[in-house]
Amino acid sequence: MAPSAVEVAPQLDITSADTSKVGVPPGLRLVAPENLDLRSDDEIAAWLRTRHPVTSEKNVWAFWHSGYSQMPPWVQRNIINWVRKLGPSWTVHLVDRVPGSETNISHFVDSSFFPDAFNNNTMDGPTVGPHTGDLVRLPLIWLYGGIWIDAGSFLFRHVDDICWKKIEDPESPYEMAGFAIEMRPGVQIMLNGFIAANRGNPFIKRWHEIFKALWDGTTNCHGFHKHRLLRHLPLLCPPTTNLNLPGDGLNVMMETFTDYLSQCMCFERLRKLVDPSDGFNGPEYFSNKIFVCSALQETFYFQQVTQWSGTRQFELLTTKRTGEGVVKDEKWHAAEDFVHDALANTAIMKLSHGPPGALDSFLADLWDSEEHHHKDQEEGTFAAYLRYGSVHFDQTREMVQIKVGWPNEEVLYAGVLEPKKMDSDAS
């Protein structure tokens, strides 16, 4: 049975811990207690299940189709820790699709923003959950502003320091922020697990219009790479060596992988599009107005250093850090380096379950299983230390924007929903 809002497994007691006795690793500093939300887990969990007014653009948005009570415990703890780390200046909104729920997406976004398959609950196939989340994230940011974070993410750095100070600074050119990764040799593609923008952002609006159009007349993502709005774009093909993927790479057809990441492909269409009807210039906007950092460094560090092995990540994090009989052997030091480097030098730890079958093991799947429900914060382990550090430590480094540029890429001059004319169209 899934835990209710008041059945969250206990975490480290941060409200009473003597943080003055905690050794602070290089590159980190302790967060002042007054900057944290020090309510108990149960209080925050209950608060997350109530709807809160949107009073500013300082909103963090997350989604779980079946609601908070159906989340795996480790995902519940992720959201609780966001609330705790971000303190009173940000509001975390966890929305769902539970009938009658106070936090149902219908309270925030009108049905006109969604395709029929969403509104009629007829979406099918193995990726309904992720793609439902894809459909809600952009309208929430467009309507209210703020930051979308996938629920399966640990947050190691305050969002103000990741990007929001740059977005809200009137002297800054940036209006959006996110993380990009090499998804084709030499081509960095922005992902959708972390998206930040002001309310009414023009790129966000067009991005959602393209993605919504993919769903016209269909109930799943199969074949999206051949859709008339995306067919001119090459398939995604992550370079195995550069990403430190396992020797055989992803165990999935690139057509399936591209369909799974179709919202990112919609971004690709838009960043290479100039709309003569209103002057929107995607290449100019992306180059000058989106603050882009490396996803490989900022969100996938854990995966990169373990060759994307959930089993290896699980082994490191379940290593005992303190307690009777602990031996500081090679495995212990590997776990310590792993956690310290992540806490000091990455913004987020993004865990996912897919695309299904793409990798031999996913840490999210292991933590989902009932026998491992509390391994993400088991007392005395490096996992518990990671949880503690994600709340109590601030990073001292500066976020570094990656240089993006795609020489000789073709620019499409067309309307946002106008397909590129292909040679095959004439036959």
pLDDT digits (tens, 9 = 90+) for 140-182: 999 999 999 999 999 999 999 999 999 999 999 999 999 999 8
- Mean pLDDT of the residues in the chain: 90
pLDDT band at 286 (very low <50, low <70, confident <90, very high): very high
Between 60 and 14, the more confident residue is 60
E strands present in 131-235: 146-149, 153-155, 176-184, 187-197
Q: How far apart are CA 21 and CA 44, in angstroms?
A: 26
- Which of 337, 371, 203 has the alpha carbon at shortest distance from 272? 203
- Which of 183, 141, 209, 236 has the alpha carbon at shortest distance from 417? 209
Reduced to 3 states, what is the DSSP secondary structure of residue 407?
coil
The two counts, helices (H) then strands (E), for the chain are 17, 13
Q: What is the pLDDT of residue 138?
A: 98
pLDDT band at 325 (very low <50, low <70, confident <90, very high): confident
Q: Which long-range contacts (CB under 8 A, 24 or more apart) does 171-176 make?
A: 173/288, 173/289, 174/289, 174/290, 174/291, 175/201, 175/203, 175/289, 175/290, 176/201, 176/203, 176/204, 176/289, 176/290, 176/291
Tell me which amino acid residue 239 is: P
- Which of 54, 119, 122 has the alpha carbon at shortest distance from 90? 54
Q: What is the pLDDT of residue 239?
A: 79
Q: What is the mean pLDDT of residues 314-328?
A: 93
Q: What is the mean pLDDT of residues 293-319?
A: 91
Give buried/exposed letters for 88-125 (b at 16+ CB in 10 A, else e): eebbbbbbbbbeebebbbeebbeeebbbebbeeeebee
Q: How long is the chain?
A: 427
Task: Determine phi and psi for 98, rounding to 5 degrees.
Answer: -75, 125
- Which pair of tokens denotes residue 132? 């439902």
pLDDT at 17 exceeding the cut of 50:
no
Q: What is the pLDDT of residue 13?
A: 44
pLDDT at 307 exceeding the cut of 60:
yes
- Which pair of tokens denotes residue 270? 């838009």
Q: What is the pLDDT of residue 354?
A: 64
Burial (CB < 10 A; 0-12, 13-18, 19+), residue 266, is: buried
Q: How far apart are CA 88 and CA 352, in angstroms?
A: 28
Q: What is the pLDDT of residue 1?
A: 33
Q: What is the mean pLDDT of residues 96-100?
A: 96
Q: How far apart are CA 263 and CA 135, in angstroms?
A: 9
pLDDT band at 10 (very low <50, low <70, confident <90, very high): very low
pLDDT band at 9 (very low <50, low <70, confident <90, very high): very low
Is the torsion defined by CA of 316, 322, 326, 327 positive or negative?
positive
- Which of 82, 87, 83, 91 has the alpha carbon at shortest distance from 58? 91
Pairing outcome for strands 153-155 and 348-350: antiparallel
Q: What pTM, to 2 d.p., does this model score?
A: 0.91
Q: What is the mean pLDDT of residues 321-333?
A: 92
Q: Is 234 left (phi over 0), alpha (psi -120 to 50) or beta?
A: beta
Give CA separation, 111 vs 118, 127, 141, 309, 343, in Å.
9, 21, 16, 39, 40
Q: What is the pLDDT of residue 7?
A: 35
Among 85-94, 288-297, 416-425, whose mean pLDDT is lowest?
A: 416-425
Among 256-270, 347-361, 386-400, whose mean pLDDT is lowest?
A: 347-361
Q: What is the pLDDT of residue 187?
A: 85
Among 57-71, 192-206, 231-245, 346-360, whose mean pLDDT is lowest?
A: 346-360
pLDDT at 5 exceeding the cut of 90:
no
Q: What is the pLDDT of residues 24-33, one digit of tens each?
A: 999 999 999 9
Q: Report DSSP letters for 99-119, one per residue.
A: TT-TTBGGGTS-GGGS-HHHH
- Which pair of tokens denotes residue 104? 């149902």
